[in-house]
A and B are shown apart, each in its own frame.
Chain A
Amino acid sequence: MQNNLQPSAEVCVNRSAIKTIYTHFEKSFFKSEKYKLTSEIGKTSLGVKGTKTLVDAKTITAIDPEFPNAIIKLGAERFHRCFNCGNCTAICPLTQDKASYPRKLIRYAVMGLEERVTSSADPWLCYYCGECSDYCPRDADPGSFMMALRRLLIQKYSIVSKAFFNKIAAAITWIVLTIIAALGIYFFRGHSPNLETVDLSSFLSIDFIHDAGLAVGAVVGLFALLNLISMYRSIAKGISYSYSKVESRNPALWIKNFFKTIIYEVAAQLKYSKCLKKSRYVAHLALFWGFLGLFVATLIVFGIDFYGLQISRVVPFVIGVISGVVMLYGSIYFIIARLKKKETYAMYSYHTDWVFLILLFLAGVTGFLLAIFVKVNLPMESYITYAVHLIVVFDLLISAPFTKFAHAIYRPLALWIDSTVRESPIIGGIMGGGRGG
């Protein structure tokens, strides 16, 4: 932009010249290619009949023609083929009434209305059963589109997440994290590990594990909370477009639905069971409960060692073994599914899908190897496996709020908000109102 607000001595400053310069300045500063001047359009009343949603010019014309490319890069290559027939939304077992995804979101995306797409909680309500993609007459693959949206939203909710999604940045990030973990273990290792018999605490002091665990837990917890807040703020922006009535004033409803979400959707994942074939539902439940069980087993061990918890060590050992098996089953099921590429959801795997599964699988495998090596008394092997296990678990946990793992907090929040705020709750049958899947 030319800066000739300093006129030369010869040039006679005239009003129209200044006006032109100022308009040019204003246009480029406020990016008027994107936003039309408010005075030209004025305010209009949009929204579903019966609501008073005033949308001003900025929001109407906030079109970003590059937005669809961002989604294409995240693994949805064909959604622009959509010709808006509505077949996908109609066949989706989870949509009803005004919950008009995936079609509406595809329409917004094709039109470049980024804010309407990123302020929607709908991508988290989709379970990728793949029916929409199976029946799409244009083969636009709306299922992949919703999956790409989830990847996009993870990056949107937390700026740090971008480091895990761009292929090169992700490779660097994982390497750096692994090095940090390895260095941590190196610097805090015991100086005389017992090489005759396995004594894990001689390799790495149990205090170190405890303190490092607490530190990682605190960091992860903090970032998880920050990201949840970021997600809520993002959704709140979109409430005027997606929901016709905001019934969020009732705290009792919020509390009731919070517990309902935890029980029916986090614990039992009932929605998942409705629209998918049983084996996938079971495998995912296994992955979730396996991981949770291992976490609980670790907590119990901490409790015994540091907080005087009076339980036999057999309890966490048994929980750990069962959970480990269950989690291994889940991770192997999905790794095989993604290799076979037979089911719709498994046909295309982004690198974030693979990293998450492989880390879970490695955590399980190294855990079992460790238990075996300890049992048959192989000290060096045990210590090395222990170190690898810790590095894998560290990588998995520290990145959790920023990678695919984060769906574990985003989905429940979306389900909770949706059930409370939507006029006709999207989760029919279980959460009340409307028809179920």
Chain B
Amino acid sequence: MAKPVLVIGGGIAGIQASLDLADQGVKVYLVEKLPSIGGKMARLDKTFPTLDCASCILTPKMVSVARHPNIELLTYSEVVEVKGSAGDFHVKVLKKPRYVDEDKCIGCGECIAKCPSKVPDEFNMGMSQRKAIYFLFPQAVPLKATIDKEHCLYFTKNICRVCERICPTKAVNFEQKPETLELNVASIIIATGYELMDPHLAATYGYGKYSNVYLSLEFERLVSSTGPTGGEIVRRSDNKHPKSIAFIQCVCSRDVKINPNCSAFCCMASVKHAILAKEHLPEVDCTIFYMDLRAFGKGYQEFYNRAMKEFDIKFIRAKPAKIEEDPETKDLIITYDDTLTSIKRTMRVDMVVLAVGVKPVYPEVLPLKIGEDGYVCLKDPIMESIASTIDGIYVVGVAAGAKDIPDSVVQAGSAAAKASILAGV
């Protein structure tokens, strides 16, 4: 009988690792700190280079995870203690209380409709609002409501409790307590993904100061039909369609003073954004300001060529130094040195999208050795690029180094194979 394996992180890498292990007969505990699995991929509209709908290829896997008899899905949970060694880890997992009984909740959403407390929606990068009781997104797995204690009027002011009254199955339970589970696993796979770097570190671009400067993930939500504007690309300042959009690469990446690493996928992500912008608004002028356009994967160069030829997207080799705002129109003026013609210019655009760099996220409780580049140290960067320095603990996905979705999926499978050996399959 194989021992179970712990997968930390419910993004595409964690999902794939869980499925690959479970299909071999290994029991998997999939721990995810958010109320739903899906990770960053769930926020994407389309994936490059094929422009596949991200949800369409992700959600079937999410559902498989939910239904798989070998996977125990522990969402809204965090790992709080790890002891032991390869083959015999003792892990404590804290299940945070949703204040909703998961067995009773049917995901009807009545509670959400009636909740009076509004909160900026983190899933939509703060560009829309959710309620204090919420689904992370409409296709959440598990589709169980979660109460955000910090914004719930009952917890903060001892009033309301409308959700409790409205719920048809009486699933709301304000008395729910956190639960600690003790698990004994053979191996741990870390797939905790990334966060965006703080764009305020690149202060000259004016993110936060100028309303029409967006982050890459914000633009992704803007373009998504499930996003805050239903897929309409409109400016924050005046709700109008932009006539010109500039994409700036290498923001908080490849800069020794901020973050020397290259974040790998943002060049392709911006090309994708520019193409999607053209698909939504055929008249828009898209310009991508790049230093090196990194088209490192299969089909990426063709994707880039397609952007230039078919979609007439302009590429300017320059790192813009600063962005200024026209206070009346809220248009943005970008100052750059066009390095291929050696002419310094300014460009006026309606909207700017910053391709912000990424930094990995790791569970604090694990004594992982972090290298100088901020990523976990690997056993051997060439031949064992998913093995951490601790035996039995594997790191996959962006947590092991910035990469795209195909590579994350492949690494997940590789870690599953290695973990299954320890599990005793």
Contacts and interface: CB of A to CB of B under 8 A. Distances in A.
B342 A90 contact: no
Given A85-B291, A99-B344, A137-B250, A90 B255 contact: no
B319 A90 contact: yes
Contacts of A99: 344
A397 interface: no
A83 interface: yes
Interface stretch (B186-194, B330-338, B358-366): B330-338
Nearest to A140: B256
Contacts of A139: 256-257
B401 interface: no
A422 interface: no
B418 interface: no
Contacts of B336: 86, 90
Most buried by A among B254, B257, B292, B319: B319
Interface size class of B (residues with CB under 8 A): 20 to 34
Contact of A137 (B256, B292, B342): B256
Most buried by B among A88, A89, A95, A138: A89
B63 to A, nearest CB: 43
Contacts of B15: none
Given A91-B322, A97-B344, A86 B250 contact: no
A218 B326 CA distance: 56
B344 A87 contact: no
B228 interface: no
Contacts of B318: 85-86, 90
Contact of B319 (A87, A95, A97): A87
A294 B337 CA distance: 44
A134 B291 CA distance: 18
B105 to A, nearest CB: 49
A409 to B, nearest CB: 28
Interface residues of A, number: 21
B321 interface: yes
B159 interface: no
Given A85-B339, A135-B204, A137-B257, A95 B321 contact: no
A202 interface: no
A98 interface: yes
B1 interface: no
Interface string A80-117: 00011111111100011111100110000000000000
Contacts of B338: 86
A73 to B, nearest CB: 24
Most buried by B among A85, A95, A135: A85
B320 interface: yes
Interface in A190-208: none
Interface in B257-306: 257-258, 291-292
Contact of B339 (A84, A135, A137): A84
B343 interface: yes
Contacts of B319: 85-87, 90, 137
B423 to A, nearest CB: 45
A135 B254 contact: no
A137 B204 contact: no
Nearest to A435: B346
18 contacts: A85-B250, A86-B317, A86-B338, A87-B320, A88-B337, A90-B320, A90-B336, A90-B344, A91-B322, A91-B335, A95-B344, A97-B344, A100-B337, A100-B343, A103-B337, A137-B256, A137-B319, A139-B257
